[in-house]
Structure 1
Amino acid sequence: VPGYILTYFPVRARAEPIRLLLADQGQTWTDDEVQLADWFGGKTDLKKNAVFEQLPKFQDGDFVLYQSNSILRYLGCKHGLTGSDEKEKALIDMVNDGVGDLRQKFGRLIFYEYDTGKENFIKDLPNQLAPFERILSQNANGATFTVGNKISYADYNLLDILHCHLDLLPTCLDTFPLLSAYIKRIAARPKLEAYLKSEKRNKRPITSKHK
């Protein structure tokens, strides 16, 4: 049975939290890259066959799954990254939904409002990041993860969206000591650190609008 296959465009975007999870959990996977021109030009049946005409597509042997958050949750369940009880599971889900909201706002800025909305986006960014600082402060005073004492799939999603915002504004975490420490701590996990420094990761832009 072939291992994991992740089908996506040659960018980080919505596939990157999945890659962070797989790398940190010591999993191997194949990146099946689809060129944007082929996808939008109808040169592939992939779009027609995708459940919601969207990527990423994830294959675990014969099992095929779409929707980035569903893939994250599936891998979270499979690798024990969903919390230790029902309450932790619900909180992890909540954090992941919060990251999803922030990711949508970031995407809207990058793709539709960059020239007109960047100033307002940056001005409001502290309000967008504050809930995550507060969430960290409520769990072991911010010394561990967003929920509980073990990494969860939501942590990989949060790490990625924080990286996206640091790319936009390198000073955005300066007033958030817990988030600043958190991002350094998570990124220093040995397998994750190796992936974050890898050529494979660094040759991929954050989105198709990034150089």
Structure 2
Amino acid sequence: MPPYTIVYFPVRGRCEALRMLLADQGQSWKEEVVTGETWQQGSLKASCLYGQLPKFQDGDFTLYQSNAMLRHLGRSFGLYGKDQREAALVDVVNDGVEDLRCKYVSLIYTNYISFADYNLLDLLLIHEVLAPGCLKAFPLLSAYVARLSARPKLKAFLASPEHVNRPINGNGKQ
């Protein structure tokens, strides 16, 4: 039975660096995969420190907070520098990585939109009118137009007579 257990959702998320470290160090571990349904039931969440996963077990020692887990294993496997100064430098690098991770998390989990998105959407929709199908060769742009155009209030506006019947240009060319 492996001494390590990772309790987490079925994603890479906050545990993949931990898994990579264990794999690279030749360690085996057990995964306890938590489904969204199980998490929503609340009993596991209530038992977790800060009400969060991941949860990591090293034998009878339980840790929460992914960076604490990495530091623990870093010390255990001699991956935390040769002295306190090197350990402090490793912390600096890891904290920088954490800053970047927070920006990534904000990017993928935040539903935000800027005024520039409306400007770009307008231009791309005009291109579609002037050259129907012109975005087909650009799947990311096509997906972008579809995603923004599907926002409920914007979708209603784009389908409204005020928008549909308004000329694109003042010179009559379309």
**TM bucket by the smaller chain?**
0.5 to 0.7
Residue of structure 2 in register with 1:103 after alignment: 101
Deviation string for 1:159-189 (max 9, x for gaps)? xxxxxxxxxxxxxxxxxxxxxxxxxxxxxxx
- DSSP-derived class of the 2:49 partner: coil
Residue of structure 2 in register with 1:189 after alignment: none
Where in structure 1 are there 5+ consecutive unaligned residues? 121-211
Residue of structure 2 in register with 1:129 after alignment: none
Residue of structure 1 in register with 2:4 after alignment: 4
Quick check: 2:2–2:28 contact (8 Å CA) kept in 1? no
Tell me the amino acid that sits aligned with residue 116 of structure 1: I
Quick check: 2:54–2:66 contact (8 Å CA) kept in 1? yes
Tell me the amino acid that sits aligned with residue 56 of structure 1: P
- After TM superposition, the runs of 4+ consecutive aligned structure 1 residues lying more than 6 A away are none
Quick check: 2:7–2:33 contact (8 Å CA) kept in 1? yes
RMSD: 1.9
- Higher relative contact order, chain-length normalized (CA < 8 Å, sep 6+): 1
Residue of structure 2 in register with 1:116 after alignment: 113
Q: In structure 1, what is the Cα distance between the partners aligned to 2:2 and 2:85?
A: 35
Q: In structure 2, what is the Cα distance between the partners aligned to 1:94 and 1:36?
A: 34
TM-score (norm 2): 0.62
TM-score (norm 1): 0.52
| Matched pairs, number | 116
Deviation at 1:2, TM superposition (A): 5.0
Tell me the amino acid that sits aligned with residue 84 of structure 2: E
Residue of structure 2 in register with 1:130 after alignment: none
Tell me the amino acid that sits aligned with residue 77 of structure 1: R
Tell me the amino acid that sits aligned with residue 32 of structure 2: D
- DSSP-derived class of the 2:51 partner: coil
Q: In structure 2, what is the Cα distance between the partners aligned to 1:2 and 1:103?
A: 29
Deviation at 1:37, TM superposition (A): 2.4
- Percent identity, aligned pairs only? 53
